């Protein structure tokens, strides 16, 4: 990642290269300068949305339910939601709104075996584990043992009993871990779409792309290999760069595409843009229009890219 505005870290980085693909580009730039809203979700292991709303009211916390995902809220008058009683007691978890999206698109059901291939720091893992219920098995993997500490702490605080933590390089996951019904490949990326939260990040340069894209392709390809017939792999990044998004899925689909579909995605109440089918002089698999891009001005969130790949085989009982 390259800090791009060392002279003024509060100015948006030069996302000009995306002017041709981001709708309402001036609104996009304007949204980058606004603070990111605080988002939390109710932990079903310890409370219900109704009980959490009563907690917010009794503790004078202003909340607004998100229109597109149940049990999740924007808080407007809390500066440190991670030190409030409700958080300490495990009633809610703090997570950036847009990063709820890949888990919503996983189509989770009890009894599934699920792998979060790049789990640290663990918000998506905890969201998966609490959404799918206790009758599922979740494996949270990351190659960095130290980055797993926050995940372990969240698992403890939220009372999650269906999750095992594993430390391994996701590009080279061993075959003995078996196969999965659902896999999340939320791969390491330039993180440029998190600029509203972290002004240290900016657009990646060519060297970053070369390094990251090799890893991203390898992780996605390995996840496809570990997916059961009829299963689903969700690929996501917090990057606007087509090099880290459509180009990765396109390349991996070219190698494995005979058995895979890209699932059309639509979420009521959440604005998205379709995935790109061309960027600069490169054309992508037309099915990539089914991927989704999220820009900060569309829902007042950070940015994200999600592609949902589904295996064509019949699921086993």
Q: Which residues have a catalytic role annotated?
A: 238
* Least distance CB 257 / another protein (angstroms): 28
Please pick, from the candidates 16, 70, 156, 205, the single residue that binds another protein as defined by CB under 8 A: 156
Q: Does 70 bind another protein (CB under 8 A)?
A: no
Q: Interface with another protein by CB under 8 A: which range of 53-61, 234-242, 261-269, 283-291?
A: 53-61
Q: Does 146 bind another protein (CB under 8 A)?
A: no
* Least distance CB 107 / another protein (angstroms): 20
Nearer to another protein, 70 or 135 (CB): 135
Please pick, from the candidates 30, 67, 174, 229, the single residue that binds another protein as defined by CB under 8 A: 174
- In the region spanning residues 198 to 237, those forming contacts with another protein, defined by CB under 8 A, are none
Q: Does 178 bind another protein (CB under 8 A)?
A: yes
CB of 304 within 8 A of CB of 101? yes
Q: List, as one string, the DSSP characters of the chain.
A: -----TT-TTSPP--GGGTTTSSSHHHHHHHHTSPPPEEEEE-TTT--HHHHHHHHHHTT--EEE-SSSTTEEEESS-S-GGGSHHHHTTSEEE--GGGGHHHHTT---TT-EEEETT-TT-HHHHHHHHHH-TTSEEEEEES-TGGGHHHHHHHHHHT--SEEEEE--GGG--GGG--EEEEEEE-----GGGTTT-TT-----HHHHHHHHHHHHHHHHHHHHTEEEEEEEEEEES---TTTTHHHHHHHHHHHGGGEEEPP---TT---EEPPSEETTEE--GGGGGSEEE-HHHHTS--EEEEEEEE-SPPP-
Q: Does 162 bind another protein (CB under 8 A)?
A: yes
Q: Does 280 bind another protein (CB under 8 A)?
A: no
Q: Does 166 bind another protein (CB under 8 A)?
A: yes
Q: Does 161 bind another protein (CB under 8 A)?
A: yes
Q: Interface with another protein by CB under 8 A: which range of 79-87, 188-196, 197-205, 289-297?
A: 79-87
Please pick, from the candidates 90, 121, 251, 277, the single residue that binds another protein as defined by CB under 8 A: 90
Q: Does 168 bind another protein (CB under 8 A)?
A: yes
Interacting residues toward another protein by CB under 8 A: 45-46, 55, 59-60, 78, 80, 82-85, 87-91, 113, 134-135, 137, 139, 141, 145, 148, 152, 155-157, 159-168, 174, 176-178
């Amino acid at each position: 990642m390259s800090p791009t505005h060392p002279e003024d870290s509060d100015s948006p980085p030069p996302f000009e290269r995306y002017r041709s693909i981001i709708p309402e580009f001036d609104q996009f730039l304007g949204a980058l300068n606004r603070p990111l809203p605080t988002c939390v979700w109710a932990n079903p292991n310890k409370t219900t949305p109704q009980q959490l709303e009563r907690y917010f009211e009794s503790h004078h916390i202003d909340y607004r339910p998100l229109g597109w995902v149940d049990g999740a809220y924007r808080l407007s008058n809390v500066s440190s939601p991670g030190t409030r009683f409700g958080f300490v007691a495990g009633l809610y978890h703090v997570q950036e709104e847009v990063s709820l999206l890949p888990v919503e698109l996983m189509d989770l059901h009890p009894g599934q075996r699920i792998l979060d291939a790049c789990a640290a720091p663990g918000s998506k893992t905890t969201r998966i584990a609490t959404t799918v219920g206790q009758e599922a098995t979740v494996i949270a993997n990351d190659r960095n043992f130290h980055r797993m500490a926050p995940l372990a702490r969240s698992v403890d605080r939220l009372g999650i009993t269906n999750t095992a933590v594993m430390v391994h390089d996701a590009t080279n996951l061993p075959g003995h871990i078996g196969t999965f019904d659902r896999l999340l490949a939320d791969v390491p990326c330039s993180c440029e779409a998190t600029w509203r939260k972290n002004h240290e990040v900016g657009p990646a340069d060519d060297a970053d792309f070369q390094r990251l894209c090799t890893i991203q392709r390898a992780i996605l390809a390995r996840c496809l290999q570990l997916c059961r017939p009829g299963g689903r792999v969700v690929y996501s990044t917090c990057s606007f760069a087509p090099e880290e998004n459509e180009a990765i899925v396109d390349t991996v689909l070219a190698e494995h595409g005979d058995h895979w579909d890209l699932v059309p995605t639509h979420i009521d109440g959440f604005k998205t843009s379709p995935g790109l089918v061309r960027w600069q002089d490169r054309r992508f698999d037309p099915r990539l229009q089914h991927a989704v891009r999220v820009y900060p001005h569309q829902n007042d969130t950070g940015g994200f890219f999600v592609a949902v790949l589904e295996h064509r085989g019949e699921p086993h009982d």
